[in-house]
C-alpha cells in the first residue's frame, strides 16, 4: 500500500481518544488505590509526565501505534518506512512536542497544526525533527 498521509482531523481525533482513555484509566487507578477523587489531575506535572511517557514508549513497543492511532487506523512511521525507534520517538515526543514547544511558548504547536493541514506531506515540526510521518492505513 502507498504512503497515504493522515489528515489533521484523523490525528486530532486519535489524540482525543488517547487523552480520554489515559485520563479515565489513570483516574480509576488513582481512585482504586486511594479511595479518593483527583482534582485537576490533567493539569499537573504527573499527568504531563505520564502522557509524555505514553506517547514515547507505546509507539516503539507497538509498531508505531498507540491506542488512539490504532482505533483511527493511523500509525507513526519513519520516512524510510521502517518502524520507529527509541531515538525517533524521543526526538518526536520529548524534543519536538515538548521541549521546543515549551521554549517557543507553544508557537511550534500552532505552526504544526497549520503544517499538517497545508503541507502535502502532512508533517509537523516534531515529524521533521524525528524523521517521521503519520500514515493512514485506509482500514478504518
Which parts of the chain are beta strand (E)?
74-78, 132-136
Residues of the chain with pLDDT under 70: 1-3, 36-43, 139-140
Residue 25 confidence (pLDDT): 86
Q: Which pTM value belongs to this model?
A: 0.87
Residue 32 confidence (pLDDT): 78
11 grid coordinates:
490525528
Amino acid at each position: 500500500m502507498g504512503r497515504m498521509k493522515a489528515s489533521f482531523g484523523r490525528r486530532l481525533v486519535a489524540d482525543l481518544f488517547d487523552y480520554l482513555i489515559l485520563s479515565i484509566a489513570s483516574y480509576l487507578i488513582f481512585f482504586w488505590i486511594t479511595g479518593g477523587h483527583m482534582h485537576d489531575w490533567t493539569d499537573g506535572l504527573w499527568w504531563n509526565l505520564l502522557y509524555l511517557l505514553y506517547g514515547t514508549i507505546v509507539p516503539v513497543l507497538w509498531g508505531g501505534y498507540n491506542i488512539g492511532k490504532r482505533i483511527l487506523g493511523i500509525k507513526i512511521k519513519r520516512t524510510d518506512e521502517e518502524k520507529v525507534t527509541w531515538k525517533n520517538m524521543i526526538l518526536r515526543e520529548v524534543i519536538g512536542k515538548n521541549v521546543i514547544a515549551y521554549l517557543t511558548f507553544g508557537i511550534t504547536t500552532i505552526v504544526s497544526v497549520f503544517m499538517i493541514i497545508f503541507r502535502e506531506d502532512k508533517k509537523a515540526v516534531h515529524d521533521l525533527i524525528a524523521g517521521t510521518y503519520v500514515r493512514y492505513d485506509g482500514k478504518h
